[in-house]
A and B are shown apart, each in its own frame.
Chain A
Amino acid sequence: MNSYIVPLIAAGLMLLIAAVISNAIAFEGGVNPKDPRKRKIVFWLVALLNPIVAYAASLMLAPDSSQVIAHNDYMSGLPIGTGVGFLVYIIVGFGISKAFRTGKLGNWF
């Protein structure tokens, strides 16, 4: 399996989780509502979790070590894949935030 696929799927899933949690945070009243900050924190917390989850999932789905070449290729690509997944999370998250700028997800950026 390509070592980029799992981190990319993980990035998508983590974005979904961040969106669900952010949408569940209610709009607050008052001059200094805290909910936009909470959504931002959620986005970045999930962003930090993303490489860990992606890496762990990738490890679990890694080719069997008996397939030495495939295993080595996969493992050598894994850090890059995780990094790419992280970047994809940030970039797509930024895009979503701008696409829904007046909604709750607009508070991410």
Chain B
Amino acid sequence: MASNDTKNFVIAIGGTGMRCLESFVHLCAAGMFDNKEIEVLTIDTDQENGNKNRVENLVQNYIRIKSEHQKNDGGNPNVKTFFSAKINLYRFWTDYQEQSYKTLSKLSAGSNDTRQENKWLSDLLLEEDTVQSFDLGHGYRAQTHLGSHLMHHSILHAARNLAAGKTDSPAEKDLGKFLDKLGAESADSRVFVFGSVFGGTGASSIPVLPNALKEAYSIMVQGKSLDLDKVKFGSTLLTEYFSFKKPTAADKSTTENSVIADSAFFALNSQAALQFYYTDPTVKKRYSRFYHIGWPSETQNVDSNKDSNKVITGGSSQKNKCHVLELMCASAAFDFFNLPTSELDTQKARYLMRSVPHDGAYTFRGSDFVGPKDGDEMEHKLSAFLAFSHIALAINKGADGQPGVKGFNQRLQKQNITAYAGLTDEDMSQIDLYLRSFAYRINPSNQELEHGWLYQIRQSVGSGTMMFNSSAFPTSIKDLDQVDIGSIMKEEGNQWSEKGLFGGESPSKTFDKFVERLVDGGTVDPSQKVTTTKEKFIAHICNALLKSQNFQ
């Protein structure tokens, strides 16, 4: 295991990076990153991107849940409980909304001579009426040769502004804070980068990021340097796994949309990127580990959940569903952060891969994600968190917008457990909100069950299975009344369903048993490092659920 002094950093870049971060945050919520403090930086060119906003809202809610009432400090790391990792969020985005930055052709700086030279260089390498002219506000649109250059420049530009003290940009200030943390902790720091190799922003940024951060830190904190021999970088080599409608001539009819990423080329992009990552000496030197992650089955079509026929290039409409591969990426980060330091003391990258059995369909188990040693723990913790979601959302009606966690807390008070009476409605509604994004909610406009993260992950597996029994995933509002929190896990030894009068499973009796267990025990242990009322409440529920599942 990594020592407790190891400092962990996560950088999520582009739409795919954001969804990988979403999986990572949900693993943190389930308690997979015990006793860790994680600095998270989101990087995108598209500040309005739907996936970016979704994950940033998720992280901000996570931080609120971790914080004491009306503080927003993210609380403290805990052990063996839900929301055990402390997460700090920093957001950096390149501002291409301003007219003079909107396209490459409009970028201009320096003397007339410099500008003329830049123009000649641009004309030599990049097509003038397409690559130089498309709207950068929706990302680099699979033009990685352009994107790497621009992202590197943006980070350095921000560092120069910070060094000169002439920035009011919250994005640049956040980058500065992140670099400060990275610089301060560089003795034993690990940075894991989420992003794809086949798309635009992530694919452009992953290769240049370590050097860009190093240079930016040197500019920002003059006289100091980021020691990249001590800061270990890891990333995924995530190849194509989703597709979307081929852009038509009409889609590309305007100058700002003259370049639109075409998913038909994603496989080719992936192939070229992998060749680059295997041969480029800078990348091989700067990264300690690369985790190969790919999807051999049919790619997920992201158009199916969109109303418009138009190709969505970015912006708030881009809210793609989550995919099991993103959970695989988050699991790669789990591996990276838990490796012994000795395994990362290399001067060149290691490339890792593992395969998952495929018998016509996938049967994913915890060990497929985090290895046999931690697979059982992952299943237990995710299962317990799903059970907590069902308790709040289904049994206590939180999916319908009612105060689910509050209802459960009132239940405890009715049983004269008043230790958590001090929790405010706001405290508890934050947990409801989080659980809805994790599992499901009832859409008030059409009264249908809207899938959250875990459901979307499961859906992406198709006809395969995802760790738990299919009955753990009720698919209609009617089924919510019958959800049995004791039969989520597959192994009989981990099930705790109660039988009804005629021998069948009785969800109400199982819940009854759980409350009894909660009442009788499950109190928190000092080793869990929980101090606030909210932390104790969450840990109490976690303990009772894990105990019910016979998890030691």
CB pair B416 A27 closer than 8 Å? no
**CB–CB A29/B415 < 8 A:** no
Range of interface residues on B (Cβ < 8 Å): 20 to 34
Please name all residues of chain B whose beta carbon is closer than 8 Å to the beta carbon of A103 when the two chains form the complex.
Answer: 415, 516, 519-520
Q: Which residue of A lies closest to B396 (CB)?
A: A29
Return chain B residues, CB-CB under 8 Å to A27: 411, 511-512, 515-516
Whether A107 contacts B414 by the Cβ 8 Å rule is yes
Given contacts A26-B509, A29-B511, contact A102 B415 (CB under 8 A): yes
Identify which of B395, B416, B509 contacts A29 (C-beta below 8 A).
Answer: B395
Alpha-carbon distance A36/B403, docked complex (angstroms): 19
CB pair A30 B397 closer than 8 Å? yes
Per-position 1/0 for B498-536, Cβ under 8 A of A = 000000000011011001100110000000000000000
State whether A26 touches B414 (Cβ < 8 A). Answer: no
Interface residues of A in 45-59 (CB under 8 A from B): none
State the CA gap A84–B173 with chains docked (Å).
Answer: 78
Which residues in B have their C-beta under 8 angstroms from that of A102? 415-417, 519-520
Secondary structure at the B interface, as helix, strand, loop or mixed, is helix
B6 at the interface (CB under 8 A from A): no
- Residue B277 CB within 8 A of the other chain: no
Q: Is the CB of A29 within 8 A of B397?
A: yes
Q: Does A68 contact B (CB under 8 A)?
A: no
**Cβ 8 A contact of B512, one of A26, A31, A106:** A26
- Kindly identify, within residues 445 to 483 of chain B, every residue whose CB is under 8 Å from any CB belonging to chain A: none
- Closest Cβ of chain A to B1, distance in Å, is 38
Q: A102-B519, A103-B519 are in contact. Are A33 and B414 (CB under 8 A)?
A: yes
Q: Are A29 and B519 in contact (CB under 8 A)?
A: no
Interface status of B63 (Cβ within 8 A of chain A):
no
Chain A residues whose CB sits within 8 angstroms of the CB of B515 once the complex forms: 27
- Residues of chain B contacted by A36 (CB below 8 angstroms): 414
A31 and B414 contact, Cβ closer than 8 Å, known pairs A26-B509, A103-B519: no
Question: Considering only CB atoms, which chain B residue lies closest to A25 in the complex?
Answer: B512
**Are A29's CB and B512's CB within 8 A?**
no
Pairwise interchain contact B403-A31, C-beta atoms closer than 8 A: yes
Asked if B362 CB lies within 8 Å of chain A CBs, one says: no
Contact B414 A29 (CB under 8 A): no
From A107, which residue of chain B is reached at the shortest CB distance?
A: B414
1/0 per position for B389-423, CB-CB distance to A under 8 A?
A: 00100011100001100111011001111000000
Alpha-carbon gap, A75 to B509, bound state (A): 46
**Alpha-carbon separation in the docked complex, A26 to B513 (Å):** 9
Of A30, A31, A32, A106, the contact of B415 (CB 8 Å cutoff): A106
Q: In the complex, what distance in Å separates the CA atom of A102 from the CA atom of B516?
A: 9
Docked Cα-Cα span, A32 to B508, in Å, equals: 16
A30 to B481, CA, bound (A): 12
Q: Given contacts A26-B509, A29-B397, A30-B396, are A106 and B416 in contact (CB under 8 A)?
A: yes
Given the complex, which residues of B lie within 8 Å of A101, measured CB to CB? 416
Which A21-48 residues sit within 8 Å CB-CB of chain B? Answer: 26-33, 36
- Whether B508 contacts A31 by the Cβ 8 Å rule is no
Least CB distance from B540 to A in Å reads: 12
Cβ contact within 8 Å between A26 and B416: no
CB pair B406–A29 under 8 Å, yes or no, is no
Which of A26, A33, A36, A106 has the largest count of B CB atoms less than 10 A from its CB? A26
Q: A102-B519, A103-B519 are in contact. Are A29 and B411 (CB under 8 A)?
A: yes
Mark each residue of chain B from 243 to 275: 1 if its CB lies under 8 Å from any CB of chain A, else 0: 000000000000000000000000000000000
Residues of B within 8 A of A26 (CB): 508-509, 511-512
Docked CA distance A102–B519 (Å): 6
Q: Smallest CB-CB separation from B418: which chain A residue?
A: A102
The answer to whether A31 touches B519, judged by C-beta atoms less than 8 angstroms apart, is no
Whole-angstrom distance between the alpha carbons of A97 and B391 in the complex? 27
Taken residue by residue from 76 to 109, chain A's Cβ proximity to chain B (1 for < 8 Å, 0 otherwise) reads as 0000000000000000000000000111001100
CA distance in complex: A89, B425 (Å): 39
**Min CB gap A28→B, angstroms:** 8
A31-B396 contact in complex given A102-B415, A103-B415, C-beta closer than 8 Å: yes
Give the CA-CA distance A58 to B22 in the complex, in Å: 71
- A106: which B residues are within 8 A, CB to CB? 415-416
The CA-CA distance from A33 to B406 in the complex, in Å, is 12
In the complex, the answer to whether B417 meets A29 with C-beta atoms within 8 Å is: no
Instruction: Determine the chain A residues whose CB is within 8 A of the CB of B410 once the complex forms.
Output: 31-33
* Distance in angstroms between the alpha carbons of A106 and B416 in the assembled complex: 8
| Residue among B406, B415, B509 with max Cβ neighbours from chain A (10 Å) | B415
When distances are taken between beta carbons in the complex, the residues of chain A under 8 Å from B509 are 26
| Least CB distance, B442 to chain A, in whole angstroms | 15
| Chain B residues numbered 309-353 whose CB sits less than 8 Å from any CB in chain A | none
In the complex formed, the residue of A with least CB distance to B498 is A26
A30 to B519 CA separation, bound complex (whole angstroms):
17
* Alpha-carbon separation in the docked complex, A101 to B412 (Å): 11
Which residues in A have their C-beta under 8 angstroms from that of B397?
29-31
Q: A102-B519, A103-B519 are in contact. Are A30 and B407 (CB under 8 A)?
A: yes
Contact (Cβ within 8 A) B416 A31: no
Bound together, the chains give a CA A15 to CA B512 distance in angstroms of 22
In the assembled complex, the CB of A62 is this many whole angstroms from the nearest CB of chain B, namely 40
Query: How far, in angstroms, from A106 to B515 measured CA to CA in the complex?
Result: 14
A61 to chain B, nearest CB (A): 35
A36 to B516: give the CA distance in the assembly, Å: 14
B406 touches A31 (CB 8 A): yes
Decide: A31 near B395, CB < 8 A? Known: A101-B416, A102-B415, A102-B416.
no
List the 7 shortest-distance A-B pairs measured between CB atoms, nearest first: A29-B395, A26-B512, A27-B515, A31-B407, A29-B396, A101-B416, A102-B519
Q: Knowing that A31-B397, A103-B520, A106-B416 are A-B contacts, what are 10 other residue pairs whose CB atoms are under 8 Å apart, sorted by A's residue number?
A: A26-B508, A27-B411, A29-B395, A29-B396, A29-B408, A31-B402, A31-B410, A36-B414, A102-B416, A107-B415
Enumerate 25 A-B pairs (CB-CB under 8 Å) in ascending A order. A26-B509, A26-B511, A27-B411, A27-B511, A27-B512, A28-B411, A29-B391, A29-B407, A29-B411, A29-B511, A30-B402, A31-B397, A31-B402, A31-B403, A31-B406, A31-B407, A33-B410, A33-B414, A102-B415, A102-B416, A102-B417, A103-B519, A103-B520, A106-B416, A107-B415
